[in-house]
Amino acid sequence: MMKKWAISAVVYLFIVIVGYNVYVNWAGKEAVPAHEQGAAYNGDKVDTHEEEPHEQGGHGAAHDDQHGDHGGHGTAESEVIANIDVSNKEMNISLQDQQGNAVEELEVNHEKLLHLIVVDDHLETYVHLHPEQIGPGEFKINHSLPDGSYKAFIDIKPKSLSYAVTPISFAIGDQEKEHAHPQLTADAVFEQKVDDYKVTLNLSELKAGQDVTLTFDLHGKQPEPYLGAQGHVVILDESGEKYLHVHPANNKDTIFETSFDEPGLYKIWAEFKQDGAVRAFPFVVEVQ
């Protein structure tokens, strides 16, 4: 009797041990993450990306260093939506955030809250305007343009939102059926004359991705202070998409420093105030 009981106990213990090992192996396999189980992770394109929670106000804090970026160098997504409506010789600009609220807090940038640059599709017409604020996030200016297709660049400096200047296309009156026009070609001589005022451009080596120095010789006609600076330079690429607004390197010389992200043709408008009038001197350069 004792012998039978001992055999039964041994068998029972054996069953318990085997069952426990089977359970442990099964449970352990279930607990291992999918990407640690072998070939399935490497060959089946398992999506292991998880969205990290965004803190409120995270975008504003992350892009503080992008405020005041005047060109294509910044990569931050713009948090300001700028629009322009042109009708009856009047230009109306509205600024809104992503939620549709008026953007009210702007920093004064070279004596103005807003700079409006308008060019035609041929990059022949160029105007630099300063609309007046008429309400929260609302600006207006009266200015006439001939019929044609245009791009507007609204240059602002929001206090707490990231912003990148991008072209806004608009049209006035009847449009040309064909948009054929002479393509840009680099100037052979970097010298321009407007109203008998001559300006010569001297360039450092023009290579994409490198710092470039633009030095303007006004031939003895020293500039008067204009919007808090010795002059202003606006640059667009051939397609009128990449925008740069460059200010002088110092308050004494007509020397400007910038860089070009990509090779290609660019048009430069150098603005100087002389004898009470502001003139824009155009140049076309090729960046290698």
The predicted-structure confidence for 48-60, as pLDDT tens digits, reads as follows 222 332 232 322 2
Of the candidates 254, 156, 162, 179, the one whose C-alpha atom is nearest the C-alpha of residue 213 is 254
pTM of the model: 0.72
Pick the range with the lowest mean pLDDT from 115-119, 244-248, 277-281.
244-248
Is 229's pLDDT higher than 90? Answer: yes
Place of tokens 């352990």: 28
Amino acid at 216: F
The per-residue pLDDT for 88 is 76
Is 84's pLDDT higher than 80? Answer: yes
| Structure token pair of residue 243 | 């925008």
Is 7's pLDDT higher than 80? Answer: no
Average pLDDT over the chain, rounded to an integer: 78
Q: Which helix (H) or strand (E) holds 4?
A: helix 2-31
The per-residue pLDDT for 72 is 38
The per-residue pLDDT for 65 is 31
Please answer whether residues 243 and 235 qualify as being in contact, where contact means their C-beta atoms are separated by less than 8 angstroms.
yes
156-207 pLDDT tens trace: 999 999 999 999 999 998 776 545 566 899 999 999 999 999 999 999 999 9
Pick the range with the lowest mean pLDDT from 23-27, 45-49, 53-57, 135-139.
45-49
243, burial (CB in 10 Å: exposed 0-12, middle 13-18, buried 19+): buried
More confident site: 74 or 254: 254
Report d(CA 288, CA 274) in Å as an integer: 33
The per-residue pLDDT for 19 is 47
| Confidence class for position 283, pLDDT limits 50, 70, 90 | very high
The per-residue pLDDT for 179 is 57
The per-residue pLDDT for 20 is 44
Amino acid at 50: E
The per-residue pLDDT for 176 is 62
Pick the range with the lowest mean pLDDT from 63-72, 141-150, 154-163.
63-72
The per-residue pLDDT for 275 is 94
Report d(CA 170, CA 83) in Å as an integer: 10
Is 35's pLDDT higher than 70? Answer: no
Q: What is the 3-state secondary structure (H, E, C) of 61-101?
A: HHCHHHCCCCCCCCCCCCCEEEEEEEECCEEEEEEEECCCC
Please answer whether residues 162 and 130 qualify as being in contact, where contact means their C-beta atoms are separated by less than 8 angstroms.
no
